[in-house]
Amino acid sequence: MSQLTKEEVAFYKKNGYLLHHKQLFSAEKLAELTAIFEDQLAQKGSKLSDELDTPHFREERLLKFLLSDEALDLVEPLLGPNIGLWSSHFICKDPLIGRATPWHEDSAYWRGRVDRLDRIVTIWLAIDPSSKENGCMQVIPGTHHNGFSEYESVDSAKNLFSTQIKNLDTSKAVHFELGRGECSLHDARIAHGADPNRSVDRRCGYTMRYFATDTKVFPEKNKNFKVWLARGKDLAGNQYANV
């Protein structure tokens, strides 16, 4: 069952994002996901807390959430009935020291790995409340229509990435303030970023990324990377971990 109205779908397509101020999972299921994150955090070793990428590769319990009806019903109105699981990432900004996320397009980092980038949607689920004070995500509405931006180098010690979009006007940035268990949706091509966490509160989110299966994933450009057929059927001859 679709969780989005026609008006919300139209807003997303025009602006490249949508704030979904509703609980994605039940309280019990959210608590279970949080416990998995805490396990991953305890196992991270020398990695920084914002570097817990593709945790579902090593923790299969996450597939319960990534392949859930709750998540897939949310993205189906945007992608259609044939959906692949692209990736996931725990992004945790520790209190006072959490690094900034430079302004970027996800599509810039995935360029060449798939044959199109207009059919990838990210759910950003708030494990902790996300606010301006603790470095919530920001987007520039409508920038998913712009194509690839020019990038410049930044200090990787203070930032999650080593590059950022050059000469970006951030005056119209929208802050994604979310309560625990709420989520946002954004297009892979939209310009987005986040300030460092300057508060005493941790800010953890779980990104759940999906693609329409008419998108071709190039195996030679995705070595040691796995995708799952989440719903419907494959339309591009992709290789899936669960098929």
Interval 45-56 mean pLDDT: 73
pTM for the full predicted model: 0.94
Spatial distance between the Cα atoms of 160 and 59, rounded to a whole number of angstroms: 23
- Mean per-residue pLDDT for 96-118? 92
Cα of 38 vs its chain's centroid, Å: 19
For 61-76, how does the pLDDT look when each residue is reduced to its tens digit (9 = 90+)? 999 999 999 999 999 9
pLDDT at 115 over 70: yes
Instruction: Write the burial class of residue 242 (CB in 10 Å: 0-12 exposed, 13-18 middle, 19+ buried).
Output: exposed
Asked whether residue 146 carries a pLDDT value surpassing 70, the answer given is yes
> In angstroms, rounded to a whole number, what is the distance separating the alpha carbons of residues 28 and 162?
38
- Per-residue confidence (pLDDT) for residue 155, from 0 to 100: 85
| Domain-wise residue ranges, the chain | 6-231
pLDDT exceeds 70 at position 2: no
Residue pair 143/97 in contact by the 8 Å Cβ criterion: no
pLDDT at 49: 58
Q: Which two tokens stand for residue 26?
A: 């039940």
Q: How far apart, in whole angstroms, are the C-alpha atoms of residue 12 and residue 106? A: 17
Mean pLDDT of 224-243: 96
Quick one: tokens of 16?
A: 């490249």
The percent of residues above 70 in pLDDT, for the chain, comes to: 96
Residue 1 has pLDDT above 60, yes or no: no
CATH class of 6-231: mainly beta
